[in-house]
Structure 1
Amino acid sequence: MDDLVVVGAGPYGLSIAAHAAGAGLSVRLLGRPMASWRDHMPEGMYLKSEPWSSNLSAPDGRYTLADYCATRGLAAEHGTPLPIGTFSAYGMWFARLAAPEVEEVTVTEVTPQGDGFRVRIAEGPPLLARTVALAVGVMPFVHLPPALRDLPPGHCSHSSGHRDLTRFAGHEVAVLGAGQAALETAALLAEHGARPCLVARRSRLNWNTVPQPLARPRLRALRDPHSGLGTGWRSWVWSELPWAVRQLPAATRERIAATALGPAGAWWLRDRFERRVPVLLGHHLHRAVAVGERTRLGLTTRAGESVVLDTAHVIAATGFTPDLGRLELLDAGLRAALETVGGSRTPELSPGFESSWPGLFFAGLLTAPSFGPSMRFVHGAGFTAGRLVRGVRKRLGARGPLSGSTADVRYSPGPGPGGPPGAAAGHPKTYPR
């Protein structure tokens, strides 16, 4: 039985596994390394965050993005956007040098068993672990507007579903959204010969400003401090004090996670976008129907006027919704037993990222309502990894020696046909509020 199984091998999973190995734990790391970055972002995209705030986390502080770029003769400079491909390659390099070997398997189920967990994989026998960390990234939480969900296959897609946009050359594409993914996808479509149109509910687009230099007069630096999530005191708090966010009331944390650092485009994208992409702002999508091979969108303006947009394809760059209900690899009974943050569908977590089920830890997007918006970005991996591994070590110490038996399962499995969900028994909350 391993001390820790980490499910997911993106920036969070790799960082957690590196810290766990550095702490002397027996750890298994499962998943496709950097899968979201390698498989679900169109070629030609750039990293929005600054290179110095986009490091994966090793316990000794080594293996930074700048270290990787130096080995390849590349520049990782403040104020200079870095290609997504370079960042993906950095993650693969980090995986080889800083983390335990990644096992590229598909996890199908995580279920409590005995004093730990059974982790089923598609490619072999199940694994047993004393603790599990779920660092599954964003792909389980893809959000499509309700109006698009009944369209036939091929009429619409999510922005994360594309690696190559050249197939849309010569075609009209409606891109829904107002954030970086929508704006950059639309710009790339135009540059690849497509005819995109951006549709957004917002009445105006927000653009980030050119970053201030790192070296500035002291008063200016004090007035607008740099942080991993941008410039200014509010961004600094979200970036540097996730532990303080966790002390806030649940409703406040939910609001912060939902609204802080809202949709905005990178400063370096603005000219590329505005020169080539027409926009329909203040338009709400209320209906979508397939008409032959095309899609007809019914839109409503803020003034209540109806607008019809006919297009060859719709790309929804509408983000991701953290929701435990979508985490299908986690046993349904266990999901139902977890304490959640306020009215959200995200797990309430200890200071060490442990859920109300002892030994089950979370990282990444699902933790934003507990620790704030930093958890939506690579920058949050540094805060998460060390604290989560300390939480694992604390949990392992609290459990003491294992009996080796898997017969004492203090748990009712998920529902059978028509049956009630499983419930936790003998697993009280063990962390302070």
Structure 2
Amino acid sequence: MPAKTFIASGPLKGRIQVPGDKSISHRALMFAGLAVGTSRITGLLEGEDVLATAAAMRQFGASIAREDDGSWRVEGAGLGSLLEPRTHLDMGNSGTSTRLLMGLAASHAMTCVFTGDASLSGRPMNRVIAPLAQMGAQIEAASGGTLPLMVRGLTPAVPITYRLPIASAQVKSAVLIAALNTPGITRVIEPVATRDHTERMLAGFGARLETGEENGERVIALHGEADLAPMDVCVPGDPSSAAFFLVAASIVPGSDLTIANVGLNPTRAGIVTALRQMGADITEDNPREVGGEPVADLRVRHANLAGIDVDPAIVPSMIDEFPALFVAAALARGTTRTSGLAELRVKESDRIAVMARALALAGARVEETENGLTIHGTGGDPLPGTREGASVATELDHRIAMSMGVAGLASTRGVQVDDTAPIATSFPDFIPLLERASSR
């Protein structure tokens, strides 16, 4: 378990590029693996989570290989022609891989066993099990609806209309992916719109779907027994990864950093909105569209941040970025209040409780509520940092490790985190990139 102390740095300068978007990378591999023909993916995130998806799709019969130029070539197995996995599907730490591939297995006549690491095996899957069971899949999970978990798929599966009880792009996507091999029309109703990468990319691969509104709620209707055609996918930079550098440059005096090629899908860009509301200096240069996704280069300069009350309506568009936002709040002037974050309690860790303890250990003033944090900022002064011999417990959560690493850049003593290994799940080059940006 490689512990590391992150210490105060010089200003973050220059131009960097963060890894490809994790959500889009997962989906590109899956949908290319379901198409008939050859797809090429550039900019793919090569973290452990995405590689778990690639390994699973190979078991389903897709041919997936990394080319010498860094692109990925995928020969699809064809929807409805998947092979039954010969061994269990090891999802590692990836909740996205697990939930979306459960949907894939649910509408194919096969039996799949999903396993994962200690962190993933503690995460509940009941929210995905419920709609897939309605479609006819038989699912047996460990106590509490966790991994290890077995899915016995049904062909033909049953089309359903499913209203999401909570905002979850993963549950929505699992149902839509199951619907691909299901006759008829499957409808998903979203009371609160979530990230729409699945809908955008499925349309690109040739699936027939319509989106609309009924009674103020978003409705996605997918026509089953789809024929997916291969396509080339260019993956934009991950806004969840960019968030750490947006916060770091905002809180370290003298910083002027450009983050190239960041995806700014409106269902994902809440972190930029929230930071700007706090007074962050973030500009969008060279806005463009790549593969159906809005993209821009983000220039961020140090700013004096102020605390805000975060609107719960913005939560779905930045659910993974709150640990980074909590760090920004700890260095801001005044108080930041967040609510509506119950989803954070069932991520890789309980991110509300773990970040409350981590920030307090680094000297921040934090109060934990049932579904959020109240953070009293330093007014721009550095955090004290962790005491000698004390270490932030990351609980195997990559975003806790990276967020507290950023906090260390604006601290007096530095911040020690107990384990940086989980960072490899989503951002293998985070530490060297952070060191390069702060040493120019």
Same fold per superposition (TM over 0.5): no
TM-score (norm 2): 0.29
Q: Which one has a bigger Cα radius of gyration?
A: 1
State TM-score, norm by structure 1: 0.29
